[in-house]
C-alpha cells in the first residue's frame, strides 16, 4: 500500500475517522495503532508480518531483561543484535554473502553452489526491513546505555515500532524520542492540522510530480533504451537522478511527518535541502538525517569518532560509511558509492582547506561530487558505473537534441532546480517581494501543488527507498 495510491487514501480515511474514538485511552490507542499498522504492512505481503513481530517480541523482552538483570545485560543486548541483524542478513544479504563465499571456495579449487540452495522465500526482500530493524535496535541499545527505561506494555512498544506512516521507509524514529509521545494523546490545533496538510501535499508533489515524471528519462538512459549518448546527455541524466532520488525519498518523509502530525505526534525532519550544502559534512547532516545520525550515534562515536585520535577517527569513518553503503543494498555499487564519500570526507577532515570559496561555487562543487557518487548508486553494476563516469568527463559530445525528445520530462527537472534556488535565496536573506500575507502565499502554493498532482502526475512509480 503506497502513499500515492487510492488504497492508502481509503485506509487513511477510515483510520482518521476511527482515531478520535480510540486515542483517549492508552491501551486502546496503542492497540488501534498496532492493528492499523500491521494491516497497512500486510497489504504488501502478509507472510512477512512474522519478521517484524519476531523482531519486536525479542527486543521487547530483551529490553526488560537488560534493565532487570544487570549482570546479564550484555547477553540480552547480544541476543537482540544477533536476532535483528541475523534476520536482516538472511533476507537481504544471503545471495551477496553466498556469492562471495563461492568465489573464495573457487580460489581453493572447490566448486560449491550455495546460491541455488538458498530457500526461495528468503530471496524476497521484505519491505522496510532495514528501517524497522534499526529502529528496534536503537531501543535495546539505549536501554543498555541507561538512556531509556523499557516499556512494560508490549502494545506500547509495538505502536512505536510499527507506526504506519514511517514503517516502510522512515524516518527512523528513536524510542527515547517517541515512546514518551505515545504515552499521551493530544488533539492538534488548527495551525498544526494546516501544517500537517501542507507536509502531505508537498510530499506528494515531490514524489508524484517531480520524481515520477523524471523516472522515464532516467530509466531509459540506464537501461540502454535511449538513442542518445555523450557528455552533456549524461550530465543531465545524473542531475535528473539526483533530484529524482531526493524528491522521491524526501516526499515520502514529508508525507510520513504530516500524517504523524495530524495524529498529534512529531517526527524529526529527515531532509533539509542537502543540495545546498557547502561541504560534504553539511551534506550528510541534511541528507537522510535519521539514518546518518543513527550511524553517528551507534557506530561512529562508539568506534572513537572525532575525539579519539586520527587513527581511530579514520577507522570509525571508514567502517561507518561502508556499513551505510551495505545498508542500502547487497551490491558492490553501493560499497563503491560509500567508498567515494568516505574518501571525500577524509580529505575534507584531513586537509581542512582554509581557502575561502564563494558560497555558490562551493555548493556547486559539493553537488558535482555527490552527483558523481550517485552514478554508482544508480548503476546496475561496477562496469556500467565506470562507463558513465568516463562519459561525464570525456567531453566528447555536447549535442542537446535529446531535450526535444524528453522535453516533457526535463521540464520537471527545471522546476525542481528552481524550487531549490528559491530556498537558497530565502536562506541567504535575499529579498523576494511578495505582496501578500504568508497564509495567502501558502494557499496559492498548496493550490498549485494539488492541481499539479491531479493533472501533471507521472506514472505511479514505487518509492525508490522501498527496495532498501
Any idea which residues carry the catalytic annotation?
328
Question: Would you say 52 and 153 are in contact if contact means Cβ atoms under 8 Å apart?
Answer: no
Nearest to residue 147, comparing CAs of 177, 125, 183, 122?
177
Name the grid cell of 223.
537501461
Residue 210 DSSP class:
I
| Secondary structure in 3-state letters for 184-208 | CCCCCCHHHHHHHHHHHHHHHHHHH
CA 77 to chain centre: 26
**Is the C-alpha dihedral spanning 271, 275, 278, 280 positive or negative?**
positive
* Orientation angle between helical segments 407-427 and 212-222, nearest 10 degrees: 120
Only one residue has cell 557547502, namely 278
Q: Which residues contact 323 (CB under 8 A, 6 or more apart)?
A: 295, 299
Residue labelled with grid coordinates 562543487: 365
Residues whose CB is less than 8 angstroms from the CB of residue 422 and which lie 6 or more positions away in sequence, other chains included: 432
Cα-Cα-Cα-Cα torsion 77, 78, 83, 88, nearest 10 degrees, comes to 100
Cell of 106: 573457487
- d(C-alpha 420, C-alpha 408), whole Å: 20
* 45 CB-contact burial (10 Å; exposed 0-12 / middle 13-18 / buried 19+): exposed
Handedness of CA 349, 351, 355, 357 (dihedral sign): negative
User: If we measure between CA atoms, which residue out of 260, 244, 88, 246 comes closest to residue 166?
Assistant: 260
Amino acid at each position: 500500500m503506497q502513499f500515492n495510491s487510492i488504497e492508502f487514501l481509503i485506509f487513511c480515511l477510515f483510520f482518521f475517522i476511527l482515531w478520535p474514538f480510540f486515542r483517549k485511552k492508552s491501551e486502546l490507542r496503542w492497540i488501534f495503532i498496532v492493528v492499523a499498522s500491521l494491516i497497512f504492512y500486510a497489504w504488501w505481503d502478509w507472510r512477512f508480518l512474522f519478521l517484524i513481530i519476531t523482531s519486536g517480541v525479542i527486543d521487547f523482552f530483551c529490553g526488560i531483561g537488560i534493565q532487570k538483570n544487570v549482570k546479564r545485560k550484555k547477553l540480552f543486548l547480544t541476543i537482540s543484535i544477533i536476532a535483528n541483524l541475523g534476520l536482516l542478513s538472511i533476507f537481504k544479504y544471503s545471495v551477496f554473502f553466498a556469492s562471495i563465499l563461492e568465489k573464495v571456495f573457487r580460489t581453493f579449487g572447490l566448486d560449491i553452489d550455495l546460491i541455488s540452495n538458498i530457500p526461495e522465500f528468503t530471496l524476497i526482500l521484505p519491505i522496510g526491513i532495514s528501517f524497522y530493524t534499526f529502529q528496534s535496535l536503537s531501543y535495546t541499545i539505549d536501554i543498555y546505555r541507561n538512556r531509556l527505561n523499557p516499556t512494560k506494555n508490549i502494545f506500547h512498544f509495538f505502536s512505536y515500532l510499527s507506526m504506519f506512516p514511517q514503517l516502510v521507509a522512515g524516518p527512523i524514529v528513536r524510542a527515547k524520542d517517541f515512546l514518551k509521545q505515545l504515552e499521551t494523546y493530544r488533539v492538534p490545533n488548527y495551525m498544526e492540522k494546516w501544517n500537517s496538510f501542507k507536509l502531505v501535499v508537498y510530499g506528494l508533489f515531490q514524489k508524484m510530480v517531480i520524481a515520477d515524471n523524471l523516472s522515464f528519462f532516467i530509466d531509459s538512459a540506464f537501461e540502454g533504451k535511449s538513442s542518445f549518448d555523450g557528455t552533456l546527455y549524461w550530465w543531465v541524466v545524473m542531475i535528473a537522478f539526483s533530484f529524482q532520488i531526493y524528491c522521491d525519498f524526501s516526499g515520502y518523509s514529508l508525507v510520513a511527518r504530516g500524517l504523524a502530525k495530524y495524529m498529534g505526534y512529531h517526527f524529526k525532519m529527515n531532509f533539509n535541502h542537502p543540495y545546498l550544502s557547502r561541504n560534504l559534512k553539511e551534506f550528510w547532516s541534511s541528507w537522510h538525517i535519521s539514518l546518518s545520525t543513527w550511524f553517528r550515534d551507534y557506530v561512529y562515536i562508539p568506534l572513537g569518532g572525532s575525539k579519539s585520535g586520527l587513527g581511530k577517527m579514520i577507522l570509525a569513518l571508514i567502517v561507518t560509511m561502508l556499513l551505510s553503503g551495505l545498508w542500502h543494498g547487497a551490491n558492490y555499487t553501493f560499497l563503491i558509492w560509500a567508498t567515494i564519500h568516505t574518501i571525500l570526507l577524509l580529505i575534507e577532515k584531513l586537509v581542512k582547506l582554509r581557502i575561502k570559496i564563494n558560497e555558490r561555487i562551493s555548493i556547486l562543487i559539493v553537488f558535482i561530487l555527490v552527483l558523481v557518487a550517485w552514478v554508482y548508486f544508480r548503476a546496475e553494476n561496477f562496469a556500467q558505473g565506470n562507463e558513465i563516469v568516463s562519459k561525464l568527463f570525456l567531453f566528447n559530445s555536447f549535442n542537446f537534441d535529446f531535450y526535444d525528445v524528453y522535453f516533457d520530462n526535463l521540464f520537471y527537472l527545471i522546476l525542481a532546480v528552481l524550487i531549490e534556488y528559491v530556498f537558497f535565496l530565502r536562506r541567504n536573506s535575499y529579498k523576494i517581494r511578495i505582496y501578500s500575507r504568508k497564509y495567502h502565499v501558502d494557499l496559492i502554493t498548496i493550490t498549485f501543488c494539488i492541481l499539479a498532482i491531479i493533472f501533471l502526475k507521472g506514472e505511479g512509480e514505487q518509492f525508490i527507498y522501498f527496495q532498501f
